[in-house]
Amino acid sequence: MEPYADVVDAYRDFARDVGTDSPTFSAWAEAVAADAEVLAWIGTLPGIKQQPNLVFAAARWHGVPAPGPYQGLREALLADGVDGPIRATILSRATQTNEVGRLATLVPAFGRIAADQADPARPLALLEVGASAGLCLYPERWGYAWHTDEGDVLLGEEPRLACRVKGPAPLPARIPEVGWRGGIDLHPLDVADADQMGWLEQLIWPEHEERRTRLRQAVRVARADPPQLVAGDLLTELPAVVERAAAHGTVIVFHSAVIAYLTPDDRQRFDRLVRGLVADGACHWVSNESKRVLPSVTATGPEIPEQKPTFVLGIDGRAVAHTHGHGRSMRWFG
């Protein structure tokens, strides 16, 4: 077997999935996959810490220029050794991204659940697992611009989150009322902490200035009305927080680009746990994860070509759309 084969595969997959979204990161990941010395350095990290976005963000945090040539990254990692500042940052931090652009794909799912309940006016209780700083818990504080083949559908005021839409998506005429918002995270981030918010900015790909601007706006929104975040393991905390949230409205447990960071066994445990809560009528479930993360959800939708990167949006365990990982596009079929 090729040395560090799992690392090579992870970086090649990342290079392919990033594609033209980040030419810098795509080129870096391809170069890492072919660089025996850098692979050996990454291979000494714990498995969950070998992920490209975390390694690249830590290197940038310590001054590696991006956009910039791979040689800058290579030299910094190899000079860092076994006890350098880049390694320390990788070990102490995580990829707790809060991409509020995903709300453009999540809000139609929230709206569909709200419209289908016995009392459509009943507020929603939004519970995000892997909430990080909870920046995606404010759907009503943003406007939306859904670009369809029939024309643009605009909702709310600027700033609007834009999304290209294919298929018969249930684009809402209004954003459902939110009666409660909260989340669970192993290490919740504090929106008032400048260092933690600076790290979130560092996790945004280097070419994406628009996303950085959006993140700063999302931080301002959350600072004005901080969400209720619980520190703990979603697999143990979820039932109790669902019960607490139910006093305030129809509970929607949701997540986006989170379950990928669980082990395969824990992904299956989470799948069984949340399906059980849905079956008991305790909550609804909106999932938005890369196609391989929740096979039980992905399998209920159209087949996806092996080389096509996409997220799968699910409602109560059934796929309803394929989405762009940052919320820029959505193909609805559910």
Q: Is residue 200 within 8 Å of residue 208, measured between CB atoms? A: no
- pTM higher than 0.85, yes or no? yes
pLDDT digits (tens, 9 = 90+) for 215-236: 999 999 999 999 899 999 999 9
pLDDT at 252 over 80: yes
pLDDT for residue 99: 93
Count how many domains the chain has: 2
Q: Rounded to an integer, what distance in angstroms lies between the CA atom of residue 248 and that of residue 243?
A: 10
- Sequence-distant (6+) residues with CB within 8 A of 78 are 37, 38, 41
Q: Rounded to an integer, what distance in angstroms lies between the CA atom of residue 169 and that of residue 319?
A: 13
Same domain, 64 and 184: no
∠ CA 53-163-303, nearest 5°, is 75
The Cβ-side half-sphere exposure at 184, using a 13 Å CA radius, reads 20
Q: Which of 92, 124, 145 delimits the end of a domain?
A: 92
Q: Percent of the chain at pLDDT above 70?
A: 99
Same domain, 113 and 82: no
Provide the CA 213 distance to its chain's centre, in angstroms.
17
pLDDT at 2 over 80: no
Mean pLDDT of the chain: 95
pLDDT digits (tens, 9 = 90+) for 52-85: 999 999 999 999 999 999 999 999 999 998 899 9
Same domain, 224 and 268: yes
Q: What's the average model confidence in pLDDT over 301-312? A: 93
Same domain, 222 and 324: yes
The strand pairing partners of 290, in sequence order, are 311
Same domain, 249 and 268: yes
pLDDT at 294 over 80: yes
pLDDT for residue 121: 87
Q: Which of 92, 115, 135 delimits the end of a domain?
A: 92
- Sequence-distant (6+) residues with CB within 8 A of 263 are none
- Angstrom CA distances, 245 to 94, 136, 320, stand at 27, 17, 25
Same domain, 146 and 260: yes
pLDDT for residue 1: 53
Q: What is the 3-state secondary structure (H, E, C) of the chain?
A: CCCCHHHHHHHHHHHHHHHHHCHHHHHHHHHHHCCHHHHHHHHCCCHHHCCHHHHHHHHHHCCCCCCCCHHHHHHHHHHHCCCCHHHHHHHHCCCCCCCHHHHHHHHHHHHHHHHHCCCCCCCEEEEEECCCCCCCCCHHHCEEEEEECCEEEEECCCCEEEEEEECCCCCCCCCCCEEEEEEEECCCCCCCCHHHHHHHHHCCCCCCHHHHHHHHHHHHHHHHCCCEEEECCHHHHHHHHHHHHHHHCEEEEEEECCHHHCCHHHHHHHHHHHHHHHHCCCCEEEEEEECCCCHHHHCCCCCCCCCCCCEEEEECCEEEEEECCCCCEEEECC
Same domain, 201 and 290: yes
Same domain, 138 and 252: yes
Q: Which of 92, 119, 147 delimits the end of a domain?
A: 92
Q: What's the average model confidence in pLDDT over 262-272? A: 96
The domain that contains 324 carries what CATH number?
3.40.50
Same domain, 171 and 311: yes
Q: Which domain holds residue 21?
A: 5-92
Same domain, 13 and 109: no
pLDDT at 304 over 70: yes
pLDDT digits (tens, 9 = 90+) for 103-138: 999 999 999 999 999 998 899 999 999 999 999 999
Provide the residue type at 237 as one letter.
E
pLDDT at 296 over 70: yes
Same domain, 194 and 255: yes
Q: Percent of the chain at pLDDT above 90?
A: 91
Same domain, 86 and 193: no
pLDDT interval class at 196 (50, 70, 90): very high
Q: Is residue 98 within 8 Å of residue 132, measured between CB atoms? A: yes
